[in-house]
Structure 1
Amino acid sequence: MSQIVIKNLFDPLLIESKTAATVVLMLSSPENEVLAKACDALYKFASKGDENKVTLLGLGAVERLYKLISHEDPIVRRNAIMVFGIMASNHDVKKLLRELDVTSSLISQLAPEEDVVIHEFATLCLAHMAVEYTTKVQIFEQGGLEPLIRLLGSPDPDVKKNSVECIYLLVQDFQSRAAVRALNIIPPLLELLKSEYPVIQLLALKTLEVISKDRETRIMLGENKGLDCLLRILETNEFSDLHAEALAVLGNCLEDVHALQLIQQTGGLKKLLSFIGVSTVPDIQKNAAKAITKAAYDSENRKILNEEEVEKYLINLLEIDNDEVKVAASQAISAMCENLASKHAFGLQGIPQLVQLLSSDNEEVKEAAVTALANLTAASPRNARAVAEAEGIKPLVNTLNAQRDGAIANAATVLTNLAMQEPFRINIQSHGIMSVLAEPLRSTSSQVQSKAAFTVAAFGCDADARTELRDAGGLRPLVELLCSKNEEVRRNACWAVMVCASDELTAGELCRLGALDILEEINLSTGRKNNFSEAALEKLLDNNLSRKYSQMGYLSSSNIITDGFYDCGQLVSSHLLKACSTSLLVSFVDFGVLIIKRKDFSYLPSKSICLKYPVGLSRLQKSKGKKEEEKSKEVIQITPKVQDEIKLENSQWLPPPDFILLDYINNASKIILPLTTTREQVVALAQLVADKMGGPIERDKLHDFSWELHISEIEFELKCNVVPIGKVKKGTFYHRALLFKVIADRIGIGCSLVRGKYNRAWNEVKLVDDSPQGIAGLLLPPHEYIVDLMFAPGFLIKQGSAEADQYKNI
């Protein structure tokens, strides 16, 4: 047999290259040995620095290596993955790897039969890439969690480290947290805590800290004696670099009552608190305080912590010269003071330290401290007093100018809590709180807006405070808050307006700024109306009785008619009100008591005319401290004041003073005040009013009582539709009821004024009937009567009777 000689074989050729470009070209070689050596050379080159990685990226090495990570030759595959693992730390390389979708190929290399070096660098590459959200999703969806968890038990520490790091990054997403729990990750993570490598222990603790935020995982951790492992770490001095992370995990676990009870029963809670007391490491102190905060969210946990006197540890942490520790301790105090015993303990010792923190330059510290004070002073007059005694009022007022919304809102809350006690309210007001509140009212934060309005309501009960708010321009932003879409802001703003409308000046300014219109719109809406919107509207109207009577058709006995009142008829629509300028509505403030005949605003003087008129009435001075039956019989003369004429826009319009009305009041004072009982006074006043306005009228001849012509004649005489009520000599129901109310208010007879339909109006009075014979001193409830001013003047018709209904209706 002849021997065949193959002549086309080439002897091995050793190639030495000193350029990266040449080696990258070698990645296209068909020979496995060349590929393996090229990959090994590139690995060494890339390991020297980030600049070399960028060079390889520019030479197209990544695309060529991607084709080799699934190569059939295990050495080529291993070396290619090694290059990927080292290059993936570069941002631009990671971006290209995502575009190439290498995750599925890398995950496939995590199979048990693969070389440990492949495991090491495949997990390293995945860990580098898992910092990006899109890659996390890819790893999760492509089933990467299961092999990564399995590799936590690898004999190679680098594989463990890379795997746990990748898992730590993946579990930042809630889907992966649920998945690792189902894959029973707790036992291998706890096993990693025994590693001799601190970095592995640290990553395991960080992973536990993230996944233990879920209650189901905390249960699994307890079932696997994870709490014992954590406490052992805290008890071991050589693990001091792990104490902060161990406390973070423990803090999550302590949210569950069962876990806290278990730790308490085993003595672990005492050890934990004593550990906090002796530690001088800020991170440990901070995490310990955070652990207490999490535990204190549960009422049973707060009780357990209070039994272990956790308060003294937290108060000590407030003294630590570290802002993060102070913040964490203040937050823990906020949570713990939900327990009344803890609240009392903090009030005795912790409040002065918290007050000192209000002067901190760190805004976060300031916010945490004032939040704690807000919780401590809530429903606790004792703690509020402790804040004042610690000289906290001035720094609290200063905190209203803080940079953080939470600090401003909580400072307002503390000041409101203090204002419940009169001496503190006065003290706070002396620091100009209403001027300071003007700015928080303009805040864009609904939390700040709400608390600021609430604080205005707390301090607005004082006249000086209202003046201060007006002068500081605080009423405009307060009115604007009435339009807030936030229900709490709107409610508190209504409350503040209601309180501030207690005096005529403030109420007038609020009306000028549109508060009345806004409140009317709010009260028309079932969704926006609240408990205070109706009260606020009524309070504003109480200081604008003309408008109140026009809109509501009712004035109570406490609504005292004063100079400037006018009756323009019933407003049937808010559109009529808007058709008339606000300046016109308030232009009659210096008038005498007037009545306007027409029923709509189209008959009022032009909007451009600003009407002012000399005061026609002065307030009747009544003797104080006497019962109504013992009113002074002294007749007090009421005289008009004379003022300068007010220039109108292009002409002058000067209604005559209502001297006739003044005479009516003087006569009523002479005739009626000497009467001994209110009933007699009411009857006499009714007869006087009827006499001045045409006398009694027979019911069946009411249609012949031509009062309309009489009113028209007065208008023609005055060349004006504004008719002084004293000029009316033939008045119907609503003229007489108004005159009765005016005089009654001036001489001290309590009565209401009610408008009905079709020119009807009437007065209601409350009178006490005489005691039955033989029963002296019996206190009977008052009955309500309607005063007849038309048919039988002075007759008192019992409210609710058929006669009353007949009087009120046609």
Structure 2
Amino acid sequence: MSKVTKKVYEARSIYPDRTKSEEKSFTEVNVLVKTLDTALLLLSSKEECVLLTVFSHIMDFARRQDENVLELKEHKMLEVLLEKQIFIDSENVIIRRFALYLMNALMDNTDMKTLEPETTEGILEVAYSFYLQETDDFCIEYLSHLLNMCLRDPKVAQGIVENLELLQKFKAVIATSENPDTIHNSIEAVHKILLIQSAEEMLEFTTLPDFPIDRIICEVTSKYQEIRLAALKVLKTLLVDTGDQSAFEPLHRCFHVLEQLVKAFCEDPQGPDAVEIIEVLATALRSEKMTKLFFEHNLFDLIVEHLKDQIDILSLELRCTIISIFAETAKYVQYLVRMHTAEITDMFLGCLMENDPAPATFVILGLNRMADNPDALRRIVTEFDEGALQKLVSIFQSPEVIIKTREQAAEFINRLLTGAYRDTAGELMDLDIPGVLTTTIQQGLPNLSIDLILSLLVIVESLAQNEEYRTVLGQHRPLTEQIAQLLMRSYAHSILVNNIFRCLCTIVDEQDVREVLLENYIVSSIKRALKSLSNLVKTAVTNFILQTTRFSEFIDAYIDRGILEVLMLFQKHAFCVSTWGPAIESILSKCPTMKFCIRNCLTFTDITAGKDFYVSRKKFDDFRTFQDILRNDCSPLEAVLVVNFDRLEADEADLMRVPSFCLPMSDGAGDHTWCYCKRPADPHLPKYLETLNQTLMMHGLVENPPKVRSAIDFDNVAKRTKIIAEVVHNVMNDNLKILDLNSTEECSRHAVRCHLQELRYVYHTNFIPLGVVHSGCQFERAILFKALADQIGLPCTLERSVDGRMLYNEVPMPLEIDKDVHCDKKTLQFMPWRMLRPTHVVDLMYNVGDLYPMQSRQALQYLRLY
């Protein structure tokens, strides 16, 4: 076999033609680009070097001035970037950074509201995709800024919350990123998301295991101010809820956030973000759990120590802002002693006195809460000498002060009136508080808030507890006038109407107040309140009526000006108002005339003495008809008997003179002028009463002893009833024959009717004084019996029969029932009149003075029912 050797070098006989290769290849081109349009066209290039060069020049152009960015917008740079998907697929990270930078610059100068919905959706779609797949730190920074800007639109924020994959990446970036700009924009984005969520959605969002709450808390002490401010905004929103289901449920997290906030404040109490730190800390301390940690871990002492060290150099505004945290902790009484010992009360007083015209609302709120501590209250009262109370009065009076501060000032004064009434009330009266309240209430709604007005009304109520102060308030007539006019304008607010009526009840005892109220349309206000749809308003006004029926002028107004009419007609609409019925009865109990017309009876407690008592022989189905007869100058068809013991001669002002040309001509000589009177004089009734008293004295049947004046002595009821019945019989027995109870014959009603007709002719009217009636049957006699019984203190009723033609009287007598302790004389002897029940009918016609048990045969015979 021959040996084969390997060739080391082989000569090449054929070489490639380089000239031809160069002719086929595209050589490098250097072109001078001087227009922006041309540069934007080059963004369609596939060459990285071209894209890098163009982006570099465009970014340099954009950085020079803001107007250049606007020029880029005009040249559709935003649309070009969206068309190219912001170069999301570029492998060169520098190109992606350039594209995102320019995108952010364009978006910074674009109002999201001006963009078309399709454009916004395109930006978000690309941004979401970019954010999910990007890992470069700078790109994520730009994307975070882009998302933060897009979140200005609430719809975008809602979309991020619903995109769970994006949200997970977003929270992971916050938790792990070390880029300050990324952290800042991400935390800002979290705040925008929280703002569009409801309480339930926020709770669900922030309690997820991967929510970066701890990272946000840590950033409170970041060295970058923007990050600190962003973190503080998020925490301020979250710390509103520190309940058992919130992100701050763990105690260690609560302590962590308090510690971070206190640390951040103590490092620089005068820092640019000190106010924001205090606001967040104050929000946290609204929770009792947070406040407990704040005191137990001596964070309170740490704050106070740094505050005292800096207090001389801190501005007044900053100093008063810092103590807002103490206004929150003062809400919890268990810490007030410790706070007062730390001179917090003095800090509040200093801010109150030094701020002009008024301090922040929380300063007065803090003082109000500190007043629950006795030592703090004494310290506040001592400040009265320095004008503290005067300052509070000027605050709630001044329209230039914000309404919340005015509300707190008025509420604080009420708190002082509760805790230190003597000092506070005396000082307020020295400051002319009636005049101050008048000018303040005069500002009216809507310049005053409802809460402020309520506090002012409470001040009036508190001062009116003292009789001397109430007199001063009542004599200041403009104050009552303003309250009455405020009532007329307040019916849109039921709680305000309720409190105005309650306030008026406290000062209505003063004569000036009553006069002003009746002059300032209180009647129309009452009518409107009675027709209100609010049960609260109807309860308030009926209670006011109950309180004011003690005064005759109000009774007259209620009857004559339609209040009683409204009460009667609207009863079916007031079934939920417990004071509606009592208000009616309260009016009627003071006016026996209207009560008898409406109820057709008078009870034991309905006394006819001391006033005119009118009884018509006609029974009215509608009491307003009789009311019109009494009010208007007309004469009824039936006689109206008038009872009055105190008018011996008619008042000249009550006489209605009839002109002579209205009288019928007569051939006879003499004076034909005459007059009539609806309130006639009655000189006879006093004489009957005097005769009755003499008879009672002869028999030793005087009025009940003073010690049992409000009770009844049953031993002499029958005897006194007998004597009164005989007096009535003697007076009204002219031309009437005596009949037997068992007979079916009626009394001579014709004789009585003729007698009344004669009296109407004599008095020229149907209004006849009862004392001149000398011929009467059951009707007239029952009225006189009731009138005389009321004068001597004998309990009796006056009842009208169903047909309206007959009146009768009933008296209370114990029924002798064996072994019935409830009817025992000893039991009933001192029973109040209001608890008595009628038991016997009084016979005034047949067996005069006899008492017939109710439902007995004799009683039914007397009433002609048997």
- TM-score, with length taken from structure 2: 0.75
Q: 1: CA distance between counterparts of 2:862 and 2:724?
A: 18
Deviation at 1:228, TM superposition (A): 1.6
Residue 150 of structure 1: aligned partner: 172
Write the letter of the residue equivalent to 2:187: V
Q: Map 1:18-29 to 2 at 5 A.
A: 18-19=35-36
Write the letter of the residue equivalent to 2:82: Y
1:313 and 2:337 correspond: no
Kept in 2: contact 1:690–1:736 (CA 8 A): yes
Write the letter of the residue equivalent to 1:164: I
Residue 191 of structure 2: aligned partner: 168
Kept in 2: contact 1:549–1:570 (CA 8 A): no
1:231 and 2:262 correspond: yes
Equivalent residue pairs, number? 762
| CA-to-aligned-CA distance 1:148-176 (integer Å, 9 cap, x gap) | 44333421111111111222222223323
Write the letter of the residue equivalent to 1:170: I
Residue 81 of structure 1: aligned partner: 100
Residue 159 of structure 1: aligned partner: 182
Residue 728 of structure 2: aligned partner: 689
Secondary structure (helix, strand or coil) at the match of 2:614 reads coil
- More displaced, 319-328 or 712-721? 712-721
Write the letter of the residue equivalent to 1:366: R
Residue 430 of structure 1: aligned partner: 475
Q: 2: CA distance between counterparts of 1:547 and 1:471?
A: 24
CA 1:5–1:70 in 2, change beyond 3 Å: closer, same or farther? closer
Q: 1: CA distance between counterparts of 2:675 and 2:752?
A: 21
Kept in 2: contact 1:57–1:93 (CA 8 A): no
Write the letter of the residue equivalent to 1:66: L
Which of 354, 375, 385 is the aligned partner of 2:392? 354
- More displaced, 152-161 or 441-450? 441-450
1:125 and 2:146 correspond: yes
Deviation at 1:470, TM superposition (A): 2.3
Write the letter of the residue equivalent to 2:178: P
Residue 459 of structure 1: aligned partner: 507
1:204 and 2:240 correspond: no
Secondary structure (helix, strand or coil) at the match of 1:109 reads helix
CA 1:180–1:780 in 2, change beyond 3 Å: closer, same or farther? closer
Residue 367 of structure 1: aligned partner: 407
Write the letter of the residue equivalent to 1:355: V
Q: 2: CA distance between counterparts of 1:78 and 1:380?
A: 71
Write the letter of the residue equivalent to 1:267: N
Residue 275 of structure 2: aligned partner: 244
Write the letter of the residue equivalent to 1:370: A
Residue 504 of structure 1: aligned partner: 552
Deviation at 1:465, TM superposition (A): 1.1
Kept in 2: contact 1:358–1:395 (CA 8 A): no
Q: 1: CA distance between counterparts of 2:24 and 2:410?
A: 92
Write the letter of the residue equivalent to 2:842: D
Kept in 2: contact 1:715–1:721 (CA 8 A): no
Residue 623 of structure 1: aligned partner: none
Deviation at 1:457, TM superposition (A): 1.3
Residue 547 of structure 1: aligned partner: 594
Q: 2: CA distance between counterparts of 1:802 and 1:270?
A: 92
Write the letter of the residue equivalent to 2:140: H
CA 1:56–1:554 in 2, change beyond 3 Å: closer, same or farther? farther
Q: 1: CA distance between counterparts of 2:561 and 2:162?
A: 60
| CA-to-aligned-CA distance 1:457-516 (integer Å, 9 cap, x gap) | 111122221102223444433442333444444433333333344333333334555433
Residue 645 of structure 1: aligned partner: 656
Write the letter of the residue equivalent to 2:273: L
Secondary structure (helix, strand or coil) at the match of 1:395 reads helix
Secondary structure (helix, strand or coil) at the match of 1:439 reads helix
Write the letter of the residue equivalent to 2:154: Y
1:411 and 2:456 correspond: yes
Kept in 1: contact 2:598–2:623 (CA 8 A): no
Kept in 1: contact 2:842–2:851 (CA 8 A): yes
Q: 1: CA distance between counterparts of 2:529 and 2:773?
A: 45
Secondary structure (helix, strand or coil) at the match of 1:724 reads strand
Which of 190, 215, 218 is the aligned partner of 1:188? 215
Deviation at 1:210, TM superposition (A): 1.3
Residue 788 of structure 1: aligned partner: 842
Which of 66, 81, 101 is the aligned partner of 2:82? 66
Write the letter of the residue equivalent to 2:194: V
1:482 and 2:482 correspond: no
Q: 1: CA distance between counterparts of 2:754 and 2:722?
A: 30
1:213 and 2:240 correspond: yes
Structure exhibiting the larger radius of gyration computed from Cα positions: 2
Q: 2: CA distance between counterparts of 1:457 and 1:507?
A: 15
Write the letter of the residue equivalent to 1:470: L
CA 1:363–1:204 in 2, change beyond 3 Å: closer, same or farther? closer
Q: 1: CA distance between counterparts of 2:466 and 2:765?
A: 53
Kept in 2: contact 1:161–1:199 (CA 8 A): yes
1:536 and 2:583 correspond: yes
Residue 822 of structure 2: aligned partner: none
Which of 487, 491, 508 is the aligned partner of 2:539? 491
Q: 1: CA distance between counterparts of 2:860 and 2:351?
A: 75
Q: Identity percentage over the alignment?
A: 17
Q: 2: CA distance between counterparts of 1:805 and 1:50?
A: 109
Residue 485 of structure 2: aligned partner: 439
Q: 1: CA distance between counterparts of 2:739 and 2:80?
A: 114
Q: 2: CA distance between counterparts of 1:503 and 1:171?
A: 61
1:267 and 2:305 correspond: no
| CA-to-aligned-CA distance 1:92-129 (integer Å, 9 cap, x gap) | 34542765234454344334743223322222233233
| CA-to-aligned-CA distance 1:358-399 (integer Å, 9 cap, x gap) | 454424333321122123334864465355366362433432
Kept in 2: contact 1:400–1:408 (CA 8 A): yes
Deviation at 1:418, TM superposition (A): 1.2
Secondary structure (helix, strand or coil) at the match of 1:219 reads coil
| CA-to-aligned-CA distance 1:218-275 (integer Å, 9 cap, x gap) | 4347436222222222322366333322222222332333332332223222333455
CA 1:460–1:48 in 2, change beyond 3 Å: closer, same or farther? farther
Kept in 2: contact 1:568–1:595 (CA 8 A): no
| CA-to-aligned-CA distance 1:739-758 (integer Å, 9 cap, x gap) | 33334456666655455644
| CA-to-aligned-CA distance 1:602-641 (integer Å, 9 cap, x gap) | xxxxxxxxxxxxx977653xxxxxxxxxxxxxxxx82334
Secondary structure (helix, strand or coil) at the match of 1:565 reads strand
Write the letter of the residue equivalent to 2:290: A
CA 1:659–1:226 in 2, change beyond 3 Å: closer, same or farther? closer
Which of 124, 136, 161 is the aligned partner of 1:115? 136
CA 1:489–1:81 in 2, change beyond 3 Å: closer, same or farther? farther
| CA-to-aligned-CA distance 1:385-423 (integer Å, 9 cap, x gap) | 355366362433432234322322211111111111111
Which of 746, 765, 779 is the aligned partner of 1:704? 746
Deviation at 1:282, TM superposition (A): 5.1
Secondary structure (helix, strand or coil) at the match of 1:171 reads helix
Which of 775, 785, 806 is the aligned partner of 1:740? 785
Kept in 2: contact 1:334–1:375 (CA 8 A): yes
Kept in 1: contact 2:441–2:482 (CA 8 A): yes
CA 1:445–1:780 in 2, change beyond 3 Å: closer, same or farther? closer
Residue 667 of structure 2: aligned partner: none
CA 1:794–1:43 in 2, change beyond 3 Å: closer, same or farther? farther
Write the letter of the residue equivalent to 1:689: V
- More displaced, 540-549 or 561-570? 561-570
- More displaced, 405-414 or 560-569? 560-569
Write the letter of the residue equivalent to 1:246: I
Deviation at 1:438, TM superposition (A): 2.3
Kept in 2: contact 1:616–1:641 (CA 8 A): no
CA 1:530–1:110 in 2, change beyond 3 Å: closer, same or farther? farther
Kept in 2: contact 1:707–1:730 (CA 8 A): no
Residue 7 of structure 2: aligned partner: none
Kept in 1: contact 2:617–2:639 (CA 8 A): yes
RMSD: 4.6
Q: 1: CA distance between counterparts of 2:440 and 2:68?
A: 54
1:395 and 2:436 correspond: yes
Q: 2: CA distance between counterparts of 1:709 and 1:66?
A: 115
